[in-house]
Amino acid sequence: MPAVLETTDLRKHYQMGDTTVRALDGVNLSVNEGEFVGLLGTSGSGKSTLLNLIAGLDRASGGSLRIFDQDLATMGSMELSMHRRRNVGIIFQSFNLVSSMTALENVTLAMMFAGVPRGERETRASSLLEAMGLGGRQHHRPRELSGGEQQRVAIARALSNQPRLLLADEPTGNLDSRTSREIMTVLKDLNEREGKTIIMVTHDPGLARQYAHRIVTMLDGVVVDPSEVPA
């Protein structure tokens, strides 16, 4: 299996007043194509920071971050936006749908930035929503949809530009347990049937153990052995 993602001594430091916060302090991680990785850690462990770097939403302070053999550290803001629209699909805890747009429009918006022609955008968005079980709810706005439905729209949007890597930041954090299971089943299916590589950030060890192939535990900005984490 080729590595989709490879980090070497990845660091992210930032100033907060007089102190330097070491959000990531030398992360070495490799993720192979088709893997479902659970990124586990307490709040402040650096797991979300790592996900943001992988997503190209933020820049590293040092080390290297290679995704599909491209070094994100050397990318300009234009290239980073290309990376976000082509290589990765991001799913957030709070869904992050545009509230004034319908489900269909939210999905087409991502393809609009990627330059997909209008007609194709609508067909693709429509069939993605259909596949998510939202066939009849395409013209509803986010506030008219339940949490689980909103997250399905977000997953459809993340899939719209056919990325090989899906990044999920606490995707079930705002959902009840039954809906959580549904969403996790969707992600598992995408991983198993379509071969999408998934990196999921979560603070719930049970959830990670249940669905992920591999669990990466983080503490104070570095990857640690799970046994080192105090209970």
**55-74 binders of another protein (CB under 8 A):** 55, 57-58
Q: Per DSSP, what are the bridge partners of residue 31?
A: 5
Distance CA 61, CA 14 (A): 8
In angstroms, the CA 196 to CA 187 distance is: 9
110 scored as a contact of another protein (CB under 8 A): yes
- Chosen residue from 21, 109, 131, 229 binding another protein by CB under 8 A: 109
| 17/4 Cα distance (integer angstroms) | 36
Among 13, 22, 66, 86, binds another protein (CB under 8 A): 86
Which residues, numbered 130-169, are part of the site for another protein (CB under 8 A)? 157-158, 161
- What DSSP string describes 20-59? EEEEEEEEEEEEETT-EEEEEE-TTSSHHHHHHHHHTSS-
According to CB under 8 A, which one of 115, 119, 136, 230 is a site residue for another protein? 115
Which region among 7-15, 19-27, 109-117, 193-201 touches another protein (by CB under 8 A)?
Answer: 109-117
In contact, 85 and 161? CB cutoff 8 Å: yes
Instruction: Point out which residues bind another protein (CB under 8 A).
Output: 52, 55, 57-58, 77-78, 81-82, 84-86, 90, 92, 96-100, 109-110, 112-115, 118, 157-158, 161
